């Protein structure tokens, strides 16, 4: 009797169930899929056999999986942009519905001065683009007026855009110039909204926080506060300014919790007496609750998409992450000061390793487990291994789509906007 082969590719007749399983797995392997899926199928394929050759392959696969677990993964989808906007983009932002608003630098010459007034465009999710605002036609009285768009903040329903401007105004007769931040409010068709009796601009306003009603917002203003501190002002699009919020108190920064009328803010005494305090602010009722007293604060306040965590920089090196549902649970990471964004699933953070409007590389790192520490205990600082994205490409600005499927970046130099798929 000639024995039947019992190798990696053959099964004994009494192993009919394994044979059928092997055939199904082999067909799935040939049909394609992601590398992770193929690796898992290959492991299952080997498990269906018990020959010496299959055992050797299983050992080799175990070693391979161990190496892959410790080596940084390289995203193959970030090799080529799926969309490129060949314009000098000064700022952009994803809307909650996935559209992108972006501004394009526009320069105009007068007899004595060069003026900048950026155009504003919207790109639909399908790629169609439409200019909704022409900067050349936007003027203020008889004064020379120039501005640059710095950022956009969409209303929760993706219908209104609060546009952060840096403005310069000059009286050609009297001379002198006045620089100030300002908010311009547009609907998504480009129509100017006029919440202020003085015009469409809300002067000395920045960092707007929308209410859920899509008609009211609170913004930070530094008009009557020491440098680096801000008070809060309320504004309704229909009725105009509604007065101060949390009157008499000053803050270093604030970040809204998505889907709510609540914000997380860092409060500081008017003359920087005492430590910074992390506060939960109910913007509607103007109630507050202290979350924690911080050792220090250097900016970058960012709330996670679910509102369960918050991240902020203690200094130029150390990032602190705190659990908002159990504030005693924290983690500290030595990553360097930069611009943060949360991943959609809150498993990791993205970081452009420099301050805003400067260029640097983009990395991501996993968020470690948050732990509770006794009062006055020293909290260890972890040094995570960053994963370098876009092959170390230097970027000026970046943003993530709400569904976490795309990342958009503005490149230095020509400042083109490129969108990559994860």
pLDDT tens digit sequence for 301-346: 999 999 999 999 999 999 999 999 999 999 999 999 999 999 999 9
Q: What is the mean pLDDT of residues 75-104?
A: 90
| 353 belongs to a structural domain | no
Last residue of a domain, one of 294, 322, 352: 294
106-117: average pLDDT: 88
Residue 54 clears pLDDT 70, i.e. is over it: no
Count of structural domains, the chain: 2
Residue 329 lies in a domain: no
Helix/strand/coil (H/E/C) assignment for every residue in the chain: CCCCCCCCCCCCHHHHHHHHHHHHHHHHHHCCCCHHHHHHHHHHHHHCCCCHHHHHHHHHHHHHHHHHHHCCCCCHHHCCCCEEECCCEEEEEECCCCCEEEEECCEEECCCCEEECCEEEEECCCCCEEEEECHHHCCECCEEEEEEEEEEEECCCCCEEEEEEEEEEECCCCCCEEEEEEEEEEECCCCECCCECCECEEECCEEEEECCCCCEEEEEECCCCCCCCEEEEEEECCCEEEEEECCCCCEEEEEECCCCCEEEEEECCCCCCCCCEEEEEECCCCEEEEEEECCCCCCCCEECCCCCEEEEECCCCEEEEEECCCCCEEEEEECCCCEEEECCCCCEEEEECCCCCCCECEEEEECCCCEECCCCCCCCEECCCCEECHHHCCECEEEECCCCCEEEEECCCCCCEEEEEC
DSSP lists the bridge partners of residue 114 as 109
Q: Which of 23, 49, 70 is the last residue of a domain?
A: 70
Using the predicted structure, report yes or no on whether residue 188 has a pLDDT greater than 60.
yes
Q: Is residue 31 part of a domain?
A: yes
pLDDT at 4 over 90: no
Give residue 113's pLDDT: 84
Domain of residue 244 covers: 219-294
Q: According to the model, what pLDDT value does residue 17 have?
A: 45
pLDDT at 168 over 80: yes
Q: Is pLDDT of 53 > 60?
A: no
* 52 domain residue, yes or no: yes
Tell me if 238 is assigned to some domain.
yes
In a domain, 369, yes or no: no
Q: How many Å apart are CA 87 and CA 16, to the nearest integer?
A: 63
118 near 135, Cβ under 8 Å? yes
Tokens 């392959």, residue?
A: 57
Confidence of residue 259 (pLDDT cuts 50, 70, 90): very high
* Average pLDDT in the chain: 85
The closest of 28, 136, 113, 252 to 43, measured between CA atoms, is 28
pLDDT at 260: 97
Of 263, 294, 325, which closes a domain?
Answer: 294
More confident residue, 43 or 98: 98
38 is a domain residue: yes
Residue 172's pLDDT is 77
pLDDT band at 125 (very low <50, low <70, confident <90, very high): confident
Residue 69 reports pLDDT greater than 70: no
CB count, 10 Å around CB of 15? 16
Tell me, what's the pLDDT at 14?
43
Q: Greater confidence, 111 or 43? A: 111
- Residue 246 included in any domain: yes
Predicted confidence at residue 67, as pLDDT, reads 45
More confident residue, 54 or 409: 409
Question: What average pLDDT does this structure show over 86-92?
Answer: 97
Distance in angstroms (rounded) separating the CA atoms of residues 300 and 18 = 56
């Amino acid at each position: 009797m000639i024995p039947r082969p019992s190798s990696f590719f053959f099964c004994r007749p009494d192993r009919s169930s394994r044979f059928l399983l092997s055939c199904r797995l082999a067909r799935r392997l040939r049909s394609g899929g992601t590398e992770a899926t193929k690796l898992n199928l290959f492991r299952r394929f080997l498990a269906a056999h018990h020959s010496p050759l299959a055992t050797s392959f299983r050992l080799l696969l175990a070693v391979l999986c161990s190496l892959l677990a410790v080596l940084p993964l390289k995203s193959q989808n970030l090799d080529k942009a799926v969309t490129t906007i060949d314009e000098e983009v000064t700022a952009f932002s994803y809307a909650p519905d996935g559209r992108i608003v972006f501004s394009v630098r526009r320069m105009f010459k007068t007899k004595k001065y060069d003026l900048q007034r950026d155009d504003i465009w919207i790109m639909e999710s399908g790629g169609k683009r439409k200019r909704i605002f022409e900067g050349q036609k936007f003027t203020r009285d008889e004064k020379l007026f120039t501005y640059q768009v710095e950022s956009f903040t969409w209303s929760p329903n993706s219908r209104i855009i609060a546009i952060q401007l840096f403005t310069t105004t000059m009286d050609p007769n009297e001379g002198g110039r006045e620089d100030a931040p300002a908010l311009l409010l547009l609907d998504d068709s480009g129509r100017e909204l006029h919440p202020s009796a003085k015009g469409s601009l809300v002067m000395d306003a920045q960092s707007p926080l929308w209410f859920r009603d899509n008609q009211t917002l609170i913004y930070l203003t530094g008009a009557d506060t020491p440098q680096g501190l801000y008070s809060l002002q309320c504004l309704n699009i229909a009725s105009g300014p509604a007065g101060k919020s949390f009157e008499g108190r000053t803050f270093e920064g604030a970040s809204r919790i998505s889907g709510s009328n609540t914000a997380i803010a860092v409060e500081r005494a008017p003359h920087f007496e005492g430590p910074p305090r992390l506060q939960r602010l109910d913007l509607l009722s103007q109630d507050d609750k202290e979350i924690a007293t911080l050792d220090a604060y250097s900016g970058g306040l960012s709330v996670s998409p679910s509102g369960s965590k918050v991240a902020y920089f203690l200094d130029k090196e150390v990032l602190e992450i705190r659990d908002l549902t159990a504030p005693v649970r924290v983690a500290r990471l030595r990553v360097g000061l930069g611009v943060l964004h949360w991943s959609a699933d809150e498993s990791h953070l993205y970081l452009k390793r420099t301050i805003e409007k400067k260029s640097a590389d983009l990395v991501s790192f996993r968020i470690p487990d948050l732990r509770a520490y006794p009062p006055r205990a020293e909290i260890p600082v972890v040094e995570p291994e960053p994963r370098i994205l876009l092959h170390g490409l230097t970027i000026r600005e970046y943003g993530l789509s709400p569904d976490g499927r795309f990342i958009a970046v503005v490149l230095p130099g020509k400042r083109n906007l490129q969108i990559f798929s994860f």
